[in-house]
């Protein structure tokens, strides 16, 4: 089985310009992501899909593979679909370019969830959380699942809504919240189909592409992981990741 990881990597970033090239302990962030992906036991090839020659040059400098894609492509899924279209594979893994600490075991866990479930066309990773800063942060996406681990809905709002909370209770007591990690594992044929589907109302409202999959009636399998995610969206996130690596 051929499994290709594609890392979408754009130069422009509102909160952290040139984010993929940000220095983390002597390496650009994109190099950390590539190296973590290559440690996966299941991935057979790793490609960076970028819109900027500076990122492509940095990737080639450390021996990685970079493919140029049009700058006007705005979504990561469209970017990886364009690259995947010319590369025969069974499974395509979308690893976010701002995840320099993504665990290879988490990657394999998410891939395995799709391989083992013929009903699903996509798999992704989630983790249980009771942290106030996760549940009420719109940048941390939450997910509700059914009894079999399939996603029912993704939201930037806290889901589920806890209606009956007494003042003497912990506000989250008895309620399970799951935060979503931005890794997507696609069956290769479905990835091409997905990018041709029209955008949907819930997707537009939440600005979450994965809702398009659910709104068109397809299944996303969620694997509940114990691994953690440390995405880099701000200069503060960058310093946090540097501190974690230095402490190791």
pLDDT of residue 75: 83
Instruction: Summarize pLDDT for 99-132 with one digit per residue, the tens.
Output: 999 999 999 999 999 999 999 999 999 999 988 8
Give residues with Cβ within 8 angstroms of 228, minimum separation 6. 103, 127
Q: Quickly state the pLDDT bin for 143 (edges 50, 70, 90).
A: very high
As a three-state string, the secondary structure of the chain is CCEEEEEEECCCCCCCCCHHHCEECCEEHHHHHHHHHHCCCCCCEEEEEECCHHHHHHHHHCCCCEEECCCCCCCHHHHHHHHHCCCCCCEEEEECCCCCCCCHHHHHHHHHHHHCCCCCCEEEEEEEECCHHHHCCCCCCEEEECCCCEEEEEECCCCCCCCCCCCCCCCCCCCCEEEEEEEEEEEHHHHHHHCCCCCCHHHHHHCCCHHHHHHCCCCEEEEECCCCCCCCCCHHHHHHHHHHHHHC
pLDDT of residue 173: 61
Mean pLDDT of the region 213-223: 97
Whether 181 shows a pLDDT value over 90: the answer reads yes
Q: Are 48 and 67 in contact (CB under 8 A)?
A: yes
Average pLDDT of the chain, as a whole number:
92
Q: Quickly state the pLDDT bin for 170 (edges 50, 70, 90).
A: low
Query: Residue holding tokens 């140029």?
Result: 68
- The pTM score is 0.92
Q: Are 192 and 94 in contact (CB under 8 A)?
A: no
pLDDT of residue 8: 93
For the chain, what percent of residues have pLDDT higher than 90? Answer: 80
Return the higher-pLDDT residue of 170 and 6. 6
Instruction: Summarize pLDDT for 7-37 with one digit per residue, the tens.
Output: 999 887 777 889 999 999 999 999 999 999 9
pLDDT of residue 168: 55
pLDDT of residue 165: 65
Give residues with Cβ within 8 angstroms of 60, minimum separation 6. 66
Instruction: Summarize pLDDT for 37-76 with one digit per residue, the tens.
Output: 999 999 999 999 999 999 999 999 999 999 999 988 878 8
Whether 169 shows a pLDDT value over 60: the answer reads no
Whether 174 shows a pLDDT value over 70: the answer reads no
In the CATH hierarchy, which top-level class contains the domain 3-247?
Answer: alpha beta
Q: Report which of 112, 79, 105 is spatially closest to residue 8, judged by C-alpha positions.
A: 79
């Amino acid at each position: 089985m051929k499994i290709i990881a594609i890392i979408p990597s754009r130069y422009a970033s509102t909160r952290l310009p040139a984010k993929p090239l940000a220095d983390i302990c002597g390496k650009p962030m994109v190099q950390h992501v590539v190296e973590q992906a290559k440690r996966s036991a299941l991935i057979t090839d790793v490609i960076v899909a970028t819109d900027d020659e500076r990122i492509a040059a940095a990737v080639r400098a450390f021996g990685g593979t970079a493919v140029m894609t049009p700058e006007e492509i705005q979504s990561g899924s469209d970017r990886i679909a364009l690259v995947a279209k010319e590369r025969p594979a069974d499974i395509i893994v979308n690893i976010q370019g701002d995840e320099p600490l993504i665990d290879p075991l988490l990657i394999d866990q998410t891939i395995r969830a799709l391989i083992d479930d013929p009903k699903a066309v996509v798999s992704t990773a989630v983790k249980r959380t009771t942290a106030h800063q996760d549940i009420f942060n719109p940048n941390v996406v939450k997910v509700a699942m059914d009894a079999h681990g399939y996603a029912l809905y993704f939201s930037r709002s806290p889901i589920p809504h806890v209606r009956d909370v007494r003042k003497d209770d912990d506000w989250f007591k008895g309620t399970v919240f799951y935060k979503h990690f931005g890794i997507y594992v696609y069956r290769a044929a479905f990835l091409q189909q997905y990018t041709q589907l029209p955008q949907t109302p819930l997707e537009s409202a939440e600005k979450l592409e994965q809702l398009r999959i659910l709104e068109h009636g397809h299944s996303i399998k969620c694997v509940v992981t114990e691994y953690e995610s440390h995405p880099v969206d701000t200069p503060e996130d960058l310093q946090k990741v540097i501190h974690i690596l230095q402490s190791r």
